[in-house]
Amino acid sequence: MSPSPIEIRPLSREEVRSLDALAADEFGLSTLVLMENAGRGAAAYWAETAGDAGPPKVLVVCGPGNNGGDGGVMARHLDAWGFPVSLAWFAPPESIRGDARVQWEILDRSGIPQQARPDAEPDPAALDALFADADWLVDGLLGTGLARPVAGAFRAVVEAMNRSGKPILALDVPSGLDADSGEPLGVAVRARATVTFAARKFGFDAPGASAYTGEIAVVDIGLPGKLLRRFAR
Ligand SMILES: NC(=O)C1=CN([C@@H]2O[C@H](COP(=O)(O)OP(=O)(O)OC[C@H]3O[C@@H](n4cnc5c(N)ncnc54)[C@H](O)[C@@H]3O)[C@@H](O)[C@H]2O)[C@@H](O)CC1
Ligand SMILES: [K+]
């Protein structure tokens, strides 16, 4: 019997970001623990649904924040489970900080292939070649930290991911999708599926959002029942 956590209603971007902060400040839960639960949950969901025709090659696309960190955790678990996985961090190495930096270091010491692609104006053909070599893409570029329309390098990356024709698993929120309105901010990843952490986001139920989210799975990141009950349906 697999236990199911207390059902939380869909949350706003601010509510879900406050959940993470409360878990740390009020309950003393390390954000690294939450990140580990998120990334491992995403890996387990994907491994159960991914193609069974031999282990597909996975490229995890990471941004500089905790969404990227989730991608790093997922990559480590997929590697340990025998999947060929590599990562591309679309940020200057020095901008990868905090929990995401921790994941970068662990991956580096684990010999998992990863590269930093800090180009402010990435060459579209180079992005096409990078994505053509993978069977699946994981979108760990932007999550609830999205705070402005996607432009510049991130826009080029999102557009290249979408035109690659590869199935995409989005982590938490498809990059570029506003978690409250369910509308793309400039441009957004069109995912085959979205693994979202702790709770669905308001915007996922907006008309048209499913073109970006694809199938939605909620992953329990280990928040205490007392905190979950404040947001129960
Ligand atoms: N905080 C926590 O305890 C947890 C957070 N989690 C993950 O953390 C994510 C939120 O992480 P962050 O707050 O670090 O932010 P993100 O990782 O979503 O975004 C990274 C950074 O991108 C920048 N940014 C915002 N809009 C941009 C744009 N349009 N173009 C370029 N850069 C832009 C911001 O500086 C932001 O900090 C969640 O979506 C989830 O995936 C999970 O690990 C669960 C636990
Ligand atoms: K994402």
pLDDT digits (tens, 9 = 90+) for 91-143: 999 999 999 999 999 999 999 999 999 999 999 999 999 999 999 999 999 99
Determine whether the annotation assigns residue 147 to a binding site. yes
**161-187 residue pLDDT tens:** 999 999 999 999 999 999 999 999 999
Cα–Cα distance, 137 to 121 (Å, whole number): 21
Cα–Cα distance, 89 to 91 (Å, whole number): 6
Indicate whether 154 pLDDT > 60.
Answer: yes
As a whole number, the mean pLDDT across the chain is 95
Specify the amino acid at residue 173.
V
Indicate which residue's Cα is closest to atom 8 of ligand 1. Answer: 66
**Ion ligand 2 nearby residues (CB, 5 A):** 139, 143, 170-171, 175
Specify the amino acid at residue 110.
S
Determine whether the annotation assigns residue 172 to a binding site. yes
**20-40 residue pLDDT tens:** 899 999 999 999 999 999 999
Ligand 1: centre distance to CA 172 (Å): 10
Query: 4-38 burial, b for 16+ CB within 10 Å, e for fewer?
Result: eeeebebbebebbeebbeebeeeeebebbebbbbb
> Dihedral angle at the C-alpha atoms of 30, 33, 37, 39, nearest 10 degrees?
100
Percent of the chain with pLDDT over 90: 92
52 Cβ contact list (under 8 Å, min separation 6): none
Cα–Cα distance, 89 to 68 (Å, whole number): 8
**177-216 residue pLDDT tens:** 999 999 999 999 999 999 999 999 999 999 999 999 999 9
pLDDT score at 233:
83
Determine whether the annotation assigns residue 149 to a binding site. yes
Q: How confident is the model at residue 2 (pLDDT cuts 50, 70, 90)?
A: low
ipTM exceeding 0.85, yes/no: yes
143 CB under 6 A from ligand 1? yes
Q: According to the 3-state scheme, what is the secondary structure of the chain? A: CCCCCCCECCECHHHHHHHHHHHHHCCCCCHHHHHHHHHHHHHHHHHHHCCCCCCCCEEEEECCCHHHHHHHHHHHHHHHCCCCEEEEECCCHHHCCHHHHHHHHHHHHCCCCEEECCCCCCCHHHHHHHHHCCCEEEEECCCCCCCCCCCHHHHHHHHHHHHCCCCEEEECCCCCECCCCCCECCCCCCCCEEEEECCCEHHHHCCCCHHHHCEEEEECCCCCHHHHHHHEC
**53-74 residue pLDDT tens:** 678 999 999 999 999 999 999 9
